[in-house]
Amino acid sequence: MVIVLNKSISTADKENIRSFLTRKGFTVREIVGEEETIFGAVGLVQIDRREVELLSGVDQVIPITKPYKLASREFKKEDSLVSVGPVKIGPLRLAVIAGPCAIESRDQIMESARIVRDSGGVMLRGGAFKPRTSPYAFQGLGEEGARYLKEAGEKYGLPVVTEIVATEHADMLADIVDVLQIGARNMQNFELLKRVGSMNKPIILKRGMAATIEEWLMAAEYLMAHGAENVILCERGIRTFETYTRNTLDLSAIPVIKKLSHLPVIVDPSHATGIREKVIPMGLAAVAAGADGLVVEVHPDPEKALSDGPQSLLPEQFEKMMRDIEAMAPVVGRELE
């Protein structure tokens, strides 16, 4: 922690700050400059920096320790590789996870799985419990849906992922699916993070719509502090003033994450843009920006989808996107998983 002192600080205030910090367990060094005087305070202690800000004579307090450890690049220098059955997500690879927004029926998810597998997707997604902004909208098939998902995945050799929205579904879902997803709206549902983190399952952690990269990594830290080892970050757009697109896909988060963390990062262009025609360009852009994979919505018949049909790719669009990604992969030093 660095404390910038007020230029006209009194000697008494200065000593008071120094002794406050020392009492808390910090080692304090003073640096006197022509323009400003600062205290550098180092130590293993954690403290709410606003406590120091409120001391008389303090101008500014600057934290220098990252609040996350296990998720940080310092903790683990090499890129993490997350394995889900035969599928690997991480360096040099490009993994495409696809499927419908919601599982609507046994037939629909079976047909979706076939489409995903035929075009080269390596994991099947589908929502069993849907967090909907309207209480009057379709809320998902629940456990029954999760079972259909798994059945479809097994038939076509694809591990499956579904979103978990409540701790009471944890054991049931963990028994059925291969990967659990934490949705954007639950990124700071800390009770859910604690529970899912302790379940020894791979996890896809979506970035909250208003979450800074640091908060996102802190949410990953929650999972890891409770035991999770296989966490995949997923960028899906942040909220900005621009309203033409549903959210603003923050692709520059990819190189930032690659610097700060060892965790793999994938991108969901479907939820970010909310409309089919923008999914492919943004999916390709994500790959070009260095993503380790994509999560994409595809539906056998989007016009009949019960949820998010307009952002689901048509099967032939998905097929086309996969071919483009395959062509682009070598340019960014990757190979389609």
Residue 137 interacts with a copy of itself (CB under 8 A): yes or no: yes
Closest approach, Cβ 180 to a copy of itself, in A, equals 15
Instruction: List the one residue from 165, 180, 196, 266 that touches a copy of itself (CB under 8 A).
Output: 165
Cα distances (angstroms) measured from residue 212 to each of 237, 239, 259, 324: 11, 11, 15, 31
Alpha carbon of 65 to those of 42, 220, 224: distances in Å? 9, 17, 18
- Name which position in 120, 131, 151, 155 contacts a copy of itself (CB under 8 A): 131
State the Cα–Cα distance between residues 296 and 313, nearest whole angstrom. 8
Choices 86-94, 131-139, 146-154, 228-236; region in contact with a copy of itself by CB under 8 A: 131-139
Dihedral, CA of residue 265, residue 123, residue 161 and residue 316, to nearest 10: 100
Q: Does 190 bind a copy of itself (CB under 8 A)?
A: yes
Strand (E) or helix (H) holding 219: helix 213-225
Residue selected from 158, 253, 266, 298 as contacting a copy of itself according to rule CB under 8 A: 253
Rounded Cα distance, 89 and 242, in Å: 32
Q: How far is the CB of 89 from a copy of itself (least distance, A)?
A: 19
Judged by CB under 8 A, does residue 309 bind a copy of itself? yes
Q: Is 107 in the site for a copy of itself (CB under 8 A)?
A: no
CA distances from residue 68 to 2, 54, 182, 185, 228 in whole angstroms, order as listed? 19, 25, 19, 21, 14
Q: Which of 18, 88, 92, 248 binds a copy of itself (CB under 8 A)?
A: 248
DSSP letters for 59-91: EEEE--S-S-STTBTTT--SPP-EEETTEEEST
Q: What is the token pair recorded at 295? A: 């999560």
Q: Applying CB under 8 A, does 32 fall inside the site for a copy of itself?
A: yes
* Minimum CB distance to a copy of itself, residue 80 (Å): 18
Q: Does the protein bind a copy of itself through residue 78 (CB under 8 A)?
A: no
Q: Which is nearer to a copy of itself, 126 or 302 (CB)?
A: 302
Residue 19 CB burial class (10 angstroms; 0-12, 13-18, ≥19): exposed
Per CB under 8 A, 284 contacts a copy of itself: yes
Question: Contacting a copy of itself (CB under 8 A), which of 262, 278, 299, 334?
Answer: 278
User: Closest CB to a copy of itself among 85 and 131?
Assistant: 131
Nearer to a copy of itself, 110 or 288 (CB): 288
CB of 12 to a copy of itself, least distance (A): 18
Helices and strands of the chain, counted as H and E runs: 11, 15
